[in-house]
Amino acid sequence: MDEDVQQLFNALQASFSNTDDQTRKQADAYLQNFKQLDNCLQVLTQIIRSPDVPEAVKQSGCILFKNHVRSGWRVREQSSIPVSANDKVAIRGSILETIQVVSKPLVRTNLLLALRAIISCDYIIEGPNRDDKPVDGEFKSVLSAIASYMANTNGDVVNTGLLCLYQLIAVTHIGMRFDSHFPEIVGLTFPILLHIGGALISMEEEQPMDMLRIVFKTFYNGIKDITGTYMKQNLVHWGQLLLAMISKAPPASLKSTGVSPDESIEISQHPFWKAKKWAYRAVERLFNLFGSASKPTPPTQPQNDGTVDPARLMASYQEKVRKYEHQVVQWQESQQFVQEFLPNIVHVYLTQMNLFANGQFMSERVQECMASFLADCVRFKVAWGQYKQHLQTMIVKYIFPTLCYTEADVELWEDDSLEYIHTKYDYQETSRSPSNAVGYLLMEIVHRRFKTTFTSVLEFVFGILDRYNAAPPDQKDVRMKDGALAMLGELAEEIADNRSPISKEIEARILIPHVLPDLNSPHKILRARACDTLKKFADIQGFQFSNSQILQATFLTIQERMRDPELPVCIAASTCMEVMVLFDDARPLVQASINQIMQTVLELTNKIEMTVLTDIMKLLVENFAGEIAPFAVEFANQLSQSYIRMMREVDASAGDADVYEKVDAATEVLKALITLLYGLTADGTTHLTEETKVLFLNVETAVMPAIQYTLEEQKDDAYECIFEILELFTFTLKAVTPNSRAMLPLVIRAAREGNYDTDFSDIFPTLDNYLAYGKEIFLEDQTGSFIPAYIEIIKEVCIRPPPEQPLMEHKLNAVSLMESMLLNLRGAIDQYVETFIKIGLQMLSEDYNTREDGSYSPTIVRYMEVVINALYYNAALTLQILVNMNAAQQFFEAWLKHLNMFVRVHDKKLSIVALVEILGLSPDTLPPLVQSIWNDLFKGCIFLFQSYPSAVRERALLKAQEDEDDDDDEYGSSLFINGGGVPSAPDGDEDGDLDGPNDDFRQLLAGFDDDDDDDFEEELTTEDLYSESVLDSIDAFERFRQLWQHFHGIPVVLDLAHKVAESDPQIATGIESVIASNEQQFVLEGQQQAQQQAHAKTQQKHQA
């Protein structure tokens, strides 16, 4: 062992062994410095591959290897140490062999993650920007090496090839990203993958089963959205292999009947069941890709109202036609798949279902996959024909027992009630549970095949319930009652459907005899189940209790159950209370006990972290803000302290698997705080009474510890919520309080040290509000650090080293921040005006390109407004800077050319006041270029005024309508039929094909063009009804009148203006109109129009 290797060995050993802190720190320091060596990874490879090195040292070395590759192969942070070019070349050529050599799973896993990082950096992220080696040839080499490993005759080598292929597939096709290398990967490796699967399928040993797991998992990820030539040619072969795995009996070594809960956990981890799970998932993905397309609706011929360019309209229509023709082909292929392949798939699944129903073990994940697929196929005639032959078994021996509580449920409740709650009420857990999937299957069967199934299923359920009620207390089967209530809950919407013969008898036939009594059952599981079932019926739109006495008794019982000695019952009752509080007749009950209910929920939040509890708090605040106000400070303080406690618990459990769930739960508490803040304002966010203002200030004091903790500890997972809270305080109070003022240095640090790609959009509104409502902080800053810090933030967002580019959203936020500084700090930032102008012109030049239809992106208006704001800030200074930069002529040409693109009130007013500033300068101080275009500038000002009144009027109208709509949610949606919560399914052939699960929604959206770019552009040109600006207090007409009066003192200028007016009658008329107008008159006209429309709307509703 040479010296470098020996020193590394000693440091790795010391880093995890029970040595003193000083020795461990020295070892860590050595390892940090070691990464700077030119051959760092090569030395680590020697350690990892050496047969003489203890496994613990290898494991430590492999973790260091992986971390260095991840952080240094492509450096993203300044603190990272880059991997040397020498190491890169060596590791690219040896890592597959190193993975093959190591035997321990943990060591191999870390090496595989390192391989994934290398592939991602070399071939996916950097692509052609890599300068150390040609990419394409090297990629083919890597791909060929993996394929050769897969084609080897040695099983261990083949296994290595499979593991490496999965990393390649995962990194080139993760999420929805598609890489250009992907078809090449599939074409070369998938035929080998299919051959390997065929060779392994008859084996029973653990290693072949684990290799099959990798085969199916790789296939599953590799066909995510590929329906190309390879899959169409090999669909039958892959389908046969997958169904062979699904049909495969468990190995003789695995227990398959009479499995206890403890045995179930161990058996489910066997590679056989994992391979089977991935086979099920792959079949479902094949079905989603090839068999689930809906019949498309042809696009309608567009009608032009004269406001859209005909060429652009026709191009859009032709694109829709192309999409439609492609969808038709997909639908035809889908029909073929359903007819030719689905019957055999369903036969295999039903066979497995019968085996499970008759006692054969099946892992929970496989159960979930099987039930979900069976549910998705209910709508197909070829599947339903087979279902009917097994319907009795499916309902009685499969669905019903799966919905009943199990022995494992009882044990978990007793041993760990918190974990039990998560498995039953946490969406991430329930979404993968067999009971959830089977409930979906039951709902699909009854909903889609109502005439055939509804009556018989309900008779089965009521039979169980009647026998339970008739049995003596010591002979009542609690498990059977639980399953029956679970089935009723799953079928709640079908029972309330117009087709149901008992839709009007839910209370009398179900709730009073079977559900409400169990709210006080001696059996804790039935108390929880009764809460769950009641919630599902009470949540149906249109459901009402028959009288207030039943509602009151039920409400009080649910409130009592929220304090049940059993925590799972408390949670079930809390979720039910979330629905109960929304009944009109329950409002007085809630008002009388709002403090107790909120305190109960807060106490539960301290016992368990669940989003369902914060959802209830948010609901209560939204609907009972007035009743909560007296307790707002107390609640805010409790929520703040709960959040801090939960985040500290996150720190203490940093390595736990559920750490992200804990973070989510903590941020949900902040969201409850946000809802509380919104609820405290009189009309959403503005117009505080003096009493509410004092309350808001006290709430701010209560919440500030949570804000300070988050910013000081840099808990960026909570930044979105924390900055929304800060934004709310400053915007609502229209001031920066001392509490918020103290947070500004921490806010600036978060903006400068955070992740710009994710955090800046969250932080920007808060940064802006500090300027808008606390400009004196910047003007009186003794340290002189705040303004320079804002400048650096703007530069860091907008100016990125190639090839990095700032996100469009962040660029526009930075533009808004520059505008806010120029508007709010007039006269205080002269030295930064040139910086702003350079940034604005640079962004303008990058985006100033015509599109195919000859139009320009509305983003150019926002970029031009950087310079326009500078002109309003200080016209003389800005003109001189533009002249010095040789940019004046180009800018003014662009501005005047695109005045018609300034459509919002703010855009028009900003240009008007900036032009007024220029026109008001003494002629002899104007640069020659500006003197030569003075007439054009004056015309441009009048041009903007011509459309300004209608823009002001329209904005006032929209704002008034928005306020009216906020109070107009009582009439419901026409999508619901006859007041019921469930639209009736279409009548027709009960045994034929029915609409897919999303067909109604697809038809609803037919004709809409899903174009994110259009949405983005519309956002840039739509009035922001809630934005506030220094310009709001300026009357543009009054500014022009002052300018006109100023002209009368300068004969030369007045003469110029008169000549312009004489040359164009419209200009002359425009001048007269501007001088005679004021802004408020147009605001009032818009408000009056809104009132008239609202009155007409009310009349129509009364008539209806």
Q: Is 610 strand, coil or helix?
A: coil
pLDDT over 90 for what percent of the chain?
52
pLDDT over threshold 60, residue 354: yes
Secondary structure string (H, E, C) spanning 542-569: CCCCCCHHHHHHHHHHHHHHCCCCCHHH
What is residue 137's predicted lDDT score, i.e. its pLDDT?
A: 59
What would the two tokens of residue 823 be? 């508007």
User: What mean pLDDT do residues 360-386 have?
Assistant: 96
Distance CA 703, CA 722 (A): 10
pLDDT over threshold 90, residue 306: no
Lowest-pLDDT range, 67-76, 213-222, 263-272, 390-399?
Answer: 67-76
What is residue 130's predicted lDDT score, i.e. its pLDDT?
A: 42
What is residue 980's predicted lDDT score, i.e. its pLDDT?
A: 36
What would the two tokens of residue 684 be? 């959403």
Q: Is 664 exposed, middle or buried (CB count within 10 Å of its CB: 0-12, 13-18, 19+)?
A: middle
What is residue 178's predicted lDDT score, i.e. its pLDDT?
A: 46
Distance CA 44, CA 66 (A): 10
User: What mean pLDDT do residues 1027-1047 have?
Assistant: 89
Distance CA 281, CA 284 (A): 5
User: What mean pLDDT do residues 252-267 have?
Assistant: 91
Lowest-pLDDT range, 400-414, 880-894, 905-919, 1012-1026?
Answer: 1012-1026
Q: Residue 131's pLDDT band (boundaries 50, 70, 90)?
A: very low
Lowest-pLDDT range, 36-40, 349-353, 461-465, 720-724?
Answer: 36-40
pLDDT over threshold 80, residue 489: yes
Lowest-pLDDT range, 185-199, 218-232, 430-444, 556-570?
Answer: 218-232
What would the two tokens of residue 62 be? 């492999």
pLDDT over threshold 80, residue 347: yes
Total residue length of the chain = 1104
Q: Residue 179's pLDDT band (boundaries 50, 70, 90)?
A: low
Distance CA 560, CA 638 (A): 22
Query: Cα–Cα distances in Å, from 739 out to 157, 198, 672, 700, 726?
Result: 64, 68, 21, 8, 10
Element (DSSP H or E) covering residue 360: none
User: What mean pLDDT do residues 655-671 have?
Assistant: 78
Lowest-pLDDT range, 529-533, 604-608, 639-643, 918-922?
Answer: 604-608
pLDDT over threshold 70, residue 932: yes
Q: Are residues 83 and 69 in contact, defined by beta-carbon separation less than 8 angstroms?
A: yes
Alpha helical stretches, state H, 389-519? 391-392, 400-403, 407-415, 417-425, 427-430, 434-448, 450-470, 478-490, 492-495, 506
Cβ-based neighbours of 1101, under 8 Å, separated by 6 or more:
971
Q: What is the DSSP string of 587-598?
A: HHHHHHHHHHHH
What is residue 555's predicted lDDT score, i.e. its pLDDT?
A: 97
Of 352, 151, 374, 350, the closest CA to residue 245 belongs to: 352
At residue 308, φ and ψ (nearest 5 deg) are -120, 140
Q: Residue 1095's pLDDT band (boundaries 50, 70, 90)?
A: low
Q: Residue 334's pLDDT band (boundaries 50, 70, 90)?
A: confident
Q: Are residues 1 and 9 in contact, defined by beta-carbon separation less than 8 angstroms?
A: yes
Q: Residue 221's pLDDT band (boundaries 50, 70, 90)?
A: confident
Distance CA 997, CA 989 (A): 17
What is residue 224's predicted lDDT score, i.e. its pLDDT?
A: 63
pLDDT over 70 for what percent of the chain?
87
pLDDT over threshold 90, residue 466: yes
Q: Are residues 486 and 492 in contact, defined by beta-carbon separation less than 8 angstroms?
A: no
What is residue 619's predicted lDDT score, i.e. its pLDDT?
A: 87
Mean pLDDT (the chain) is 85
Q: Residue 854's pLDDT band (boundaries 50, 70, 90)?
A: low
Lowest-pLDDT range, 130-144, 409-423, 677-691, 914-928?
Answer: 130-144
Lowest-pLDDT range, 467-476, 877-886, 929-938, 970-979?
Answer: 970-979
Query: Taking the alpha carbons of 669, 674, 679, 680 in that order, is the dihedral positive or negative?
Result: positive
Comparing 39 with 315, the larger pLDDT belongs to 39
User: What mean pLDDT do residues 755-783 have?
Assistant: 86
Comparing 686 with 894, the larger pLDDT belongs to 894
What is residue 971's predicted lDDT score, i.e. its pLDDT?
A: 31
User: What mean pLDDT do residues 645-656 have?
Assistant: 80
Lowest-pLDDT range, 445-454, 672-681, 793-802?
Answer: 793-802
Lowest-pLDDT range, 686-690, 886-890, 961-965?
Answer: 961-965
Of 88, 108, 95, 96, the closest CA to residue 38 belongs to: 88
User: What mean pLDDT do residues 898-916 have?
Assistant: 92
Q: Are residues 569 and 557 in contact, defined by beta-carbon separation less than 8 angstroms?
A: no
